[in-house]
Amino acid sequence: MNTKQTFEQLKELKLYGMAGCYDTQLNQPAEKQPDAHTLIAMLAEAEGVSRIHQRTNLYLRIARLRYSVLPEQIHCSHDRNLSKEQLQFLSETTFVENAENVLITGATGCGKSYLACALGRKACMNGFKTIYHPMSRFLELIATARLDGTYTKLFNTITKTPLLILDDFGLQPLDINMQITILNILEARYKKYPVIITSQLPVKEWHGYIGEPTIADAILDRLSANEHRVELKGESLRKK
């Protein structure tokens, strides 16, 4: 058997997980090399792990999360109003499967974006494509897409991505066109895909921030119909 040729064929077929595992086993002493059935099982498992790793890296590149952080790095305490049980529940990302929105509020520096990015990273690891936008950049993207004719493509991307994260909602005023755009996005995602929104404003103040009462009612209805709220408290983490 030409083992080198087999190794090269695995790489040509882009079975990199199998190739790495096969090469490792070839370098084992003859008495420690597995039998055929065990080797096949090991190759299949290695390829599965490799593909999950490749998919995760791809999704993270697409997401462009602001922070590279895992839920395990999030500090939970009574003072922060964030329990380990609540974080554990959100980290399981069943909220993505069930299209349940996550609304994270709190003062500046309390870790809203950090938590949102941790949940976004976990979603990528669990196989959910994610996109992250600071609200300021999101508004710019929408405005630019309307001007250059790419709005429909952008709209379809935003509405069909399993998890959308909008960071720092409430810092910039929304004109009537942007209010309608946000409503249309939320309507298209309603009961299909969730959104994570972070804001310095308490949820009860979002209606006044949006402005136009009818549109504000519709937006909040779609956000709060199936939601989890995280109201972070405590001093700014940046000071620490």
* pLDDT: which is higher, 80 or 19: 80
pLDDT of residue 109: 86
- Indicate the pTM of the whole model: 0.85
**Beta carbons of 134 and 66 less than 8 angstroms apart:** yes
Residue 237 domain flag? no
- Could you tell me if 160 and 191 lie in one domain? yes
- Could you tell me if 91 and 78 lie in one domain? yes
Residue 220 domain flag? yes
- What's the rounded Cα separation, in Å, for the pair 1 and 22? 14
Of 16-25, 49-58, 142-151, 215-224, the least confident: 16-25
- Could you tell me if 186 and 144 lie in one domain? yes
- Could you tell me if 38 and 127 lie in one domain? no
Average confidence (pLDDT) over 28-55:
83
Q: Which pLDDT band, with edges at 50, 70 and 90, does 236 fall under?
A: low
Q: For residue 37, give its domain range.
A: 3-62
Residue 115 domain flag? yes
Residue 147, domain CATH: 3.40.50.300
Residue 238 domain flag? no
Residue 165 domain flag? yes
Looking at the structure of the chain, the number of domains it has is 2
Task: Examine the fold and report which residue of 26, 47, 62 is the final residue of a domain before the chain moves on.
Answer: 62
- Could you tell me if 130 and 88 lie in one domain? yes
- Could you tell me if 137 and 221 lie in one domain? yes
Average confidence (pLDDT) over 158-163:
96
Residue 239 domain flag? no
Task: Examine the fold and report which residue of 31, 47, 62 is the final residue of a domain before the chain moves on.
Answer: 62
Residue 147 domain flag? yes
- Could you tell me if 13 and 45 lie in one domain? yes
- Could you tell me if 49 and 102 lie in one domain? no
Q: Which pLDDT band, with edges at 50, 70 and 90, does 65 fall under?
A: very high
pLDDT of residue 215: 95
- For residue 230, the Cα-to-chain-centroid distance in whole angstroms is 17
Of 19-23, 86-90, 235-239, the least confident: 235-239
